[in-house]
């Protein structure tokens, strides 16, 4: 009879473990079923009683550059799509995601690598892209001084006989916003595109 009770006990433990989808291991059920005492815990190797109580889990250090890039790339995406509006976005979004957004990310990575890391938390982003025919997608600026640091724009171009294009670029504070850093061009069509935000 004792042999059958041992088999039944093991079957019950394994069955309950399977029914709990592995959330409770057979050894946990076994300990619970048999009822462990403090003496049992002390006698088992590698128990929690062996771990010193003064060990504190090490905190993962914050990554200001990574957090900055993640947030700014998501803002670049959302503000660009907002600027395009519902009439332009569906037409150019595939090229935007494959060419323009990676170019914006590369520019932001370069900017964050050159800018003092301790100052990245002081950088803010403009809240709304310009509509109509305006070029502004978004600007990054120092929230303390209110000075622009990098400006992301999109310009409408119409070279003779080529139709309408959107030319994405940025300017930086390093050269007083005079240099034009091209990211990519996206073709629209021969027809005039709608205004931004429309």
Residues 173-186 have pLDDT tens digits of 999 999 999 999 99
pLDDT above 80 (res 147): yes
Q: Where residue 9 falls among pLDDT bands split at 50, 70, 90?
A: low
Identify whether residues 43 and 76 lie together within a single domain.
Answer: no
Q: Is residue 196 part of a domain?
A: no
Same-domain check for residues 91 and 184 = yes
Higher pLDDT pick, 52 / 10: 10
Number of folded domains in the chain?
2
38 plus 121 within the same structural domain: no
SS3 43: helix
Sheet with 148-157, strands from edge to edge, namely 123-125, 136-142, 148-157, 164-172, 181-189
Mean pLDDT, residues 48-58: 47
93 plus 159 within the same structural domain = yes
**Cα 171 to Cα 55, 60, 77, 107, 151, distances in angstroms:** 50, 35, 18, 10, 5
Q: Say whether both 23 and 97 belong to one domain.
A: no
The verdict on 12 and 76 lying in the same domain is no
Q: Clarify whether residues 74 and 23 are in a common domain.
A: no
For residue 148, the enclosing domain spans 64-189
Residues 163 and 76 in one domain: yes
pLDDT at 133 exceeding the cut of 90: yes
Is residue 101 situated within a structural domain?
yes
What whole-number distance in Å separates Cα of residue 79 and Cα of residue 66?
Answer: 20
Q: Is residue 57 part of a domain?
A: no
Does residue 157 or residue 66 have the better pLDDT?
157
pLDDT over threshold 50, residue 57? no
Query: What is the C-alpha separation between 164 and 145, in angstroms, rounded?
Result: 38
Residues 39 and 74 both lie in one domain: no
Q: Are residues 71 and 132 in the same domain?
A: yes
Together in a domain, 30 and 105: no
Same structural domain, 31 and 98: no
């Amino acid at each position: 009879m004792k042999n059958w009770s041992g088999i039944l006990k093991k079957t019950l433990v394994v069955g309950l473990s399977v029914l709990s989808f592995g959330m409770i291991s057979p050894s946990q059920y076994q300990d619970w079923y048999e009822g462990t005492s403090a003496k049992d815990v002390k006698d088992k190797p590698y128990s929690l009683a062996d771990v010193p109580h003064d060990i504190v889990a090490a905190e993962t250090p914050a990554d200001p550059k990574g957090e900055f890039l993640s947030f700014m790339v998501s803002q670049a995406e959302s503000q660009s799509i907002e600027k395009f509006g519902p009439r332009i976005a569906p037409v150019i979004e595939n090229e935007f995601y494959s060419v323009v957004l990676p170019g914006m990310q590369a520019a932001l990575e370069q900017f964050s690598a050159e800018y003092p890391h301790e100052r990245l938390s002081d950088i803010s982003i403009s809240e709304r892209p310009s509509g109509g025919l305006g070029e502004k997608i978004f600007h990054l600026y120092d929230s303390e001084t209110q000075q622009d640091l990098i400006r992301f724009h999109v310009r409408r171009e119409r070279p003779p006989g080529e139709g309408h294009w959107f030319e994405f670029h940025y300017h930086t504070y390093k050269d007083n916003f005079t240099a034009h850093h091209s990211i990519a061009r996206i073709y629209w069509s021969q027809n005039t595109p709608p205004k931004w935000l429309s």
